[in-house]
Structure 1
Amino acid sequence: MLQSATRYLIFFQYIGTKYSGVMKVPPHQAHLGVQNYLEDAVRSLKPVNEAAVFISSRTDTGVHALGNSAHVDIQRREGRSPFNEEELVHALNLNLKPQDIRVTRARKVDGHFSARFQAVSRTYVYRLATGVCHHTHTPLTENKLCWFLPETELDVEAMRAAGSVLLGTHDFSTFRTLSSDAPFKSPVRTLETAQLEPGLAFASQHLNRNIQHWDFTFKSRSFLYRQVRRMAGALVAVGRGKLRPSDIQDLLEARDSLAFPTTIMAPPCGLFLTQVEYRESDLTPGWSLTHSSEKE
């Protein structure tokens, strides 16, 4: 008699530069998604059931993650006990070793748990640096992990004022890129955090150049397609003097994706998904599932 499958919530990180994004793509494509490799790693464990990994949070080509999450069911052959959390992390990483993908932790959860719909918040950090006038001045350790700007200074206070305009519940239609599922998603989101703070970079401290790092932190239950990159780009435009803080309010009120100046959208290289959070009660096996009606 076969034992039932065990559901795990896994947390993983990746450098997204060489992947098509986090979501799975057809295997004939030149660049695969992170999900392709995660499912290959699960398949290598030889489960009885089909290897299927359900990602909590989408990221685009070139975007990175320090704390994305997913759930996966693993049913082992008769006579084999379920993996404990540490065993699963070690086994998956053994098969992911050639890739810039690592599983950081795993947790057994209820069989009805959804990594996507039970997430209560997602946090992104957008990294940028000023004072880099030529690509040869880019520290190798930061290559494709940061947006480098030639300006030596930005109007930080104006950027913070503009960021405060985005806080709260708004129709963020202007700050999303239209996608195939856009008509079916509400553009209303609640932004809990929009913070700009000095960042750190090890290599820059050892170079004889005036490179200043900055981190934008954005937190919400969910985000629209490319919303974070549009918000980061708009705030940088304020810092450069190309937009005023009041223009951010005007963009919000426009409620029109086409009203956004596409030339100011931040590139993917500086964007990191840093954390997906859950309620502890939802992570405990035996909890009572309440299905979310909102599609993330």
Structure 2
Amino acid sequence: MPSCIIVGCNNRTFRKSKKQEKIEEKQKITFHAGLQRQSSNCFIRDADSVQGALETALQTISPKSLIIPSLCLSSRTDAGVHALGNTAHVELENKYNTVYKSSEVKRYVNRYFAKCGHTIRLLECIPITHDFHVRFSCKSRTYLYRFMIPKIYEEQRISLPEIIHTHCLRSHNFDIDRVRRGIQLFMGTKDFTTFSAQTTSDRKIQYVRALQAFTLEEAQSLMPFDPLSKNFTYLHFTCKAKAFLYNQVRRMVGALIALGLGKITEKDITVMLQVPSHRNWNSCVTPVPPNGLHLLNVEYDPDELRRCTILQEEEQQKAPQLEELEWEEQQQGLQLKE
């Protein structure tokens, strides 16, 4: 009986440079080029993507799966975007026709990641039925965009962890109150065509979306004991919706930061929303870099997830019964021989 398993993991992705490739060789740290597998052929191992690394790790579990692991992802993140809680489902089958134990899958997969230096960890593993789909069953996705503002004009000394996870604004003149008012322009059901990157796909895209939440909050330094962390004010946008368009969060945040810096007005954002078009993007706005973006959480209906979960307690109860049947068959075989 094939079993589908939903997995939850966190990861860090980077845009590779020649310097980073040298770091990989010396320190055995793998920098990933994004979440999605780069090759469409599941028989080719792809260690450069998070999906490829996880699929390779799943091939190390015991008993070995008769089906080559091919992940279905709930959310796709680009190179440079981090994920603190992403999900995927995968179909596995073994020769014993049993459901894999969650603890064993996590042990094998995380051992592989640690051995290979991957900045990925499998956080949770749940056996599920075929009724559950990790993308279509998703109730909401929450993203956080982290950025910082220098307290002193032209301050360039940045704490190293912040470089990886936080976008630094070069200007210290930033109107936070104006940005918070500008957030309200995005709330409600809107056509976000202008705030999505144009793709070459022939697939029909639904550009009308509704944000469930969008806030701007003051944040803390990632490394408060570093003296350099005191040179900046830290903030983060939190955005929640059922689904987002390609580059939508980075473009919305870019528009709001441009608003806070005085490069555009509220009217400019309103025009981009009211006249949805890829050609209507304001040239004064730049989408924010990917390093500040983090996928925080992918949420599901707990009742649906509970209904589709294969209870391992039931599988454990079946195990003694199977052993008892096997023992009876062996005894019958011995009696026939006598």
TM-score w.r.t. length of structure 1: 0.89
Residues 167 and 194 in structure 1, CA contact (< 8 A), matched pair in contact too: yes
- Larger helix proportion, structure 1 or 2? 2
Q: Larger deviation: 109-118 or 24-33?
A: 24-33
2:13 maps to which residue? 16
Instruction: Work out which of the residue numbers 276, 286, 298 in structure 2 matches 1:264.
Output: 286
Q: Deviations over 1:37-93 (max 9, x none)?
A: 0100111222111211111001111111001100112212227x4322222222211
How many residues are paired up? 283
CA distance in 2, matches of 1:19, 1:180: 24
CA distance in 2, matches of 1:233, 1:156: 14
Instruction: Work out which of the residue numbers 7, 17, 40 in structure 1 matches 2:4.
Output: 7
Deviation of 1:151 (Å): 2.1
2:38 maps to which residue? 25
Report 1:1-296 matches (<5 A).
4-17=1-14, 18-26=31-39, 32-45=48-61, 46-78=64-96, 81-97=98-114, 98-131=117-150, 137-181=157-201, 184-204=204-224, 206-207=226-227, 209-261=230-282, 264-286=286-308
Larger radius of gyration: 2
Residues 162 and 246 in structure 1, CA contact (< 8 A), matched pair in contact too: no
TM-score w.r.t. length of structure 2: 0.78
Residues 159 and 245 in structure 1, CA contact (< 8 A), matched pair in contact too: no
Deviation of 1:121 (Å): 0.4
Q: Larger deviation: 238-247 or 28-37?
A: 28-37
Residues 142 and 296 in structure 2, CA contact (< 8 A), matched pair in contact too: yes
CA distance in 1, matches of 2:203, 2:293: 25
Percent identity of paired positions between Structure 1 and Structure 2:
29
CA distance in 2, matches of 1:131, 1:39: 41
Residues 87 and 134 in structure 2, CA contact (< 8 A), matched pair in contact too: yes
2:332 maps to which residue? none
Are residues 94 and 248 of structure 1, via their aligned partners in 2, closer, same or farther at CA, if it must alter by over 3 Å? same
Are residues 16 and 193 of structure 1, via their aligned partners in 2, closer, same or farther at CA, if it must alter by over 3 Å? same
Deviation of 1:5 (Å): 1.6
The two structures, once aligned, show a CA RMSD in angstroms of: 2.3
Q: Secondary structure at the match of 2:130?
A: coil
Q: Secondary structure at the match of 2:164?
A: coil
Deviation of 1:31 (Å): 7.5
Q: Larger deviation: 212-221 or 123-132?
A: 123-132
Q: Deviations over 1:205-230 (max 9, x none)?
A: 53254301110001100000100000
CA distance in 2, matches of 1:16, 1:245: 33
CA distance in 1, matches of 2:225, 2:254: 25
CA distance in 2, matches of 1:174, 1:100: 34
Where in structure 1 do 4 or more consecutive aligned residues deviate above 3 Å?
27-31, 132-136
Ranges in structure 1 where 5+ consecutive residues have no aligned partner: 288-296
Q: Larger deviation: 173-182 or 215-224?
A: 173-182
CA distance in 2, matches of 1:30, 1:7: 22
CA distance in 2, matches of 1:30, 1:8: 21
CA distance in 2, matches of 1:154, 1:204: 22
Residues 20 and 31 in structure 1, CA contact (< 8 A), matched pair in contact too: no
Ranges in structure 2 where 5+ consecutive residues have no aligned partner: 15-30, 310-338
Q: Deviations over 1:153-176 (max 9, x none)?
A: 410111111111101110000000
